[in-house]
Amino acid sequence: MPKRISDMTPEEFSAAGKRVIEWAERYLKDIETYRVLPDIKPGEINKRMPDSPPDFGEEFDKILEDVDRIVMPGITHWQHPKFMAYFASTASGPGILADIVSSTFNSNGMVWKSSPALTEVEAKTLEWYRSMLGLPGNFKGIIYDTASISSFHGIAAARDYKFPESRTKGMSSLPAMRLYCSEQAHSSIEKAAIALGVGIEGVRKIKVDSEFRMIPAELEKAINEDIAMGIDPFCVVATIGTTSTTSVDPVDAISSICRKYDLWLHVDAAYAGVTAMLPEMKIHFKGIENADSIVSNPHKWLFVPIDLSVFYTKRPETLKRAFSLVPEYLKTEVDAEVENLMDYGIQLGRRFRALKLWFVIRYFGVEGLKEILRKHIRLAQSFADWIRESNEFELLAPAPFSAVCFRAVPPGLKEEDLNKFNKLLLERINSTGELFLTHTVLNDKFTIRLVVSGIRQEERHVEEARKVIKREYETLLNNQ
Ligand SMILES: *Cc1c(COP(=O)(O)O)cnc(C)c1O
């Protein structure tokens, strides 16, 4: 084996690169031949790898072969059209290829000067995306890796907005503060509270109505109770498209309360945000222009490979005040004229993620993307109709977007036995390898979720999903 001390030659790179592209092409072409969920136990993949690294270089083809031999058996196939779990997220061809371009440049967008195009392509692409979502021009965008990190920065800015001294003095000098979100908000909100010193007890979860939406009157009551107790409210997080049911908090009413008490409003629209592109979905986004910050994840439902989360804020100067800290070696002569992205958050280094969104928007075009989203919503609605019309299944939440929450209700089975039945049903469905669904719990009811949001999902996949669900339901019933 060779002792390699220099990079691939252009010829080697080209030959290996062609094989990787062929490999990727074959994988995507054959994607439906794989089990969606691997049939594997914890530790099995780890065991297939040698305990020590090679002392000398290995052949590239051997490494690529081991992707199939060692890695593939442990892959959950997110690109599979019958991956209908979580929020099914898929990578499109142009997005995958953009990732190669980004890695090829390997430029780091710490400051404008460290890669001017990175900063400027990101800014322009986010202006496009902002206008696609119908957000007003006073929202400025920045890309982070995930919605969790985007929301962290929204809540950090909220803290700085109310308590500018938190940056210098830390939390010990500050009064107890409170953040509000609904019972259905994503766990990333509490994680941000942990990281920002607000603490889990600093988060107050507001009750939801029968459709899992935050109740604005309960929010205002909680704010007043806290003020009376000497606790300082500082931020409300509303969700458009909650993770369990995709319910929509009434952002319009919540934003009036935020204005009244001068609270920062952060809107978590990680999954559903993309649908703001569709005029018929605007009803779910009423009042969003009143938010101080918003997160939408193109890596979730816009066919951009993970990770790419977009954060918009109307108060970029607050975010900058919270985080900007410029060591000598990062000062440049153009700082007064340019945007340095490191000023808007924790991270210094920044990969060229914007290329992925730029490629995807340009390749499909806005109208193409809208059509795909509409198809997903239509397919999910047809599945929801099937559940509604069935005597053996029931919907457990409204389905405003492309996620459907349901459970089996076999005639004759008592309420207390339904959770066990549905849990077994989900296990059976997933163990077939034909389909992958996940679950949640709503009002103590074990709930199965089916999501249509993948670039390769067509009517026949939803049809096949129905057949698998029905078949496993009947087998389970007969085995009872
Ligand atoms: C998926 C999701 C998140 C978390 O997204 P990451 O990008 O994985 O951090 C947060 N909030 C909502 C509403 C989500 O759907």
Total structural domains within the chain: 2
Residue 186 belongs to what domain range?
108-350
Residue 381 lies inside a defined structural domain of this protein: yes
What is residue 3's predicted lDDT score, i.e. its pLDDT? Answer: 83
- CB distance 330 to 111 below 8 Å: yes
Distance 411 CA to ligand 1 centre (A): 36
Say if ligand 1 is within 6 A of residue 350 CB. Answer: no
CATH of the domain at 226: 3.40.640.10
- CB distance 337 to 343 below 8 Å: no
Instruction: Specify the ligand 1 atom closest to the Cα of 148.
Output: 9
Say if ligand 1 is within 6 A of residue 297 CB. Answer: yes
Are 139 and 259 part of one and the same domain?
yes
Instruction: Specify the ligand 1 atom closest to the Cα of 297.
Output: 7
Are 385 and 315 part of one and the same domain?
no
Are 280 and 187 part of one and the same domain?
yes
Instruction: Specify the ligand 1 atom closest to the Cα of 299.
Output: 7
Residue 12 lies inside a defined structural domain of this protein: no
Instruction: Specify the ligand 1 atom closest to the Cα of 307.
Output: 7
Are 129 and 228 part of one and the same domain?
yes
Q: What is the mean pLDDT for each group of 10 consecutive residues in the chain (480 residues)?
A: 89 98 98 97 96 96 97 98 96 98 97 96 98 98 98 98 93 92 98 97 98 98 98 98 98 98 98 98 98 98 98 97 90 91 96 98 98 98 98 97 98 94 98 97 98 97 98 93
CATH of the domain at 451: 3.90.1150.10
Are 270 and 367 part of one and the same domain?
no
Distances (CA, A) of 63 to 19, 70, 99, 369: 12, 10, 20, 36
What is residue 156's predicted lDDT score, i.e. its pLDDT? Answer: 98
- Output the residue whose Cα is nearest ligand 1's atom 2: 270
Residue that is last in its domain, among 315, 350, 385: 350
Residue that is last in its domain, among 306, 327, 350: 350
* Coil, strand or helix at 338: coil
* Residue 52 burial (CB count, 10 A): 6
Residue 64 lies inside a defined structural domain of this protein: no
Distance 184 CA to ligand 1 centre (A): 12
Are 295 and 409 part of one and the same domain?
no
Say if ligand 1 is within 6 A of residue 148 CB. Answer: yes
Beta-sheet strand order (sheet of 393-395): 393-395, 403-408, 445-451, 438-442
Residue that is last in its domain, among 350, 385, 402: 350
Are 317 and 402 part of one and the same domain?
no
Distance 271 CA to ligand 1 centre (A): 7
Say if ligand 1 is within 6 A of residue 89 CB. Answer: no
Say if ligand 1 is within 6 A of residue 271 CB. Answer: yes
Say if ligand 1 is within 6 A of residue 440 CB. Answer: no
Are 339 and 310 part of one and the same domain?
yes
Distance 315 CA to ligand 1 centre (A): 22
Residue 134 lies inside a defined structural domain of this protein: yes
* φ, ψ for residue 210, nearest 5 deg: -65, -15
Residue 13 lies inside a defined structural domain of this protein: no
Are 268 and 404 part of one and the same domain?
no
* Residue 187 burial (CB count, 10 A): 9
Beta-sheet strand order (sheet of 232-239): 140-144, 309-313, 293-296, 264-268, 232-239, 177-182, 203-206
Spatial distance between the Cα atoms of 375 and 404, rounded to a whole number of angstroms? 15
Residue 235 lies inside a defined structural domain of this protein: yes
Distance 122 CA to ligand 1 centre (A): 21
Are 395 and 274 part of one and the same domain?
no
Say if ligand 1 is within 6 A of residue 247 CB. Answer: no
Ligand 1 probe mutation, 239, 249, 271, most atoms within 8 A of CB: 271
Are 158 and 283 part of one and the same domain?
yes
Are 163 and 309 part of one and the same domain?
yes
Distance 91 CA to ligand 1 centre (A): 17
What is residue 173's predicted lDDT score, i.e. its pLDDT? Answer: 84
Residue 453 lies inside a defined structural domain of this protein: yes
Residue 291 lies inside a defined structural domain of this protein: yes
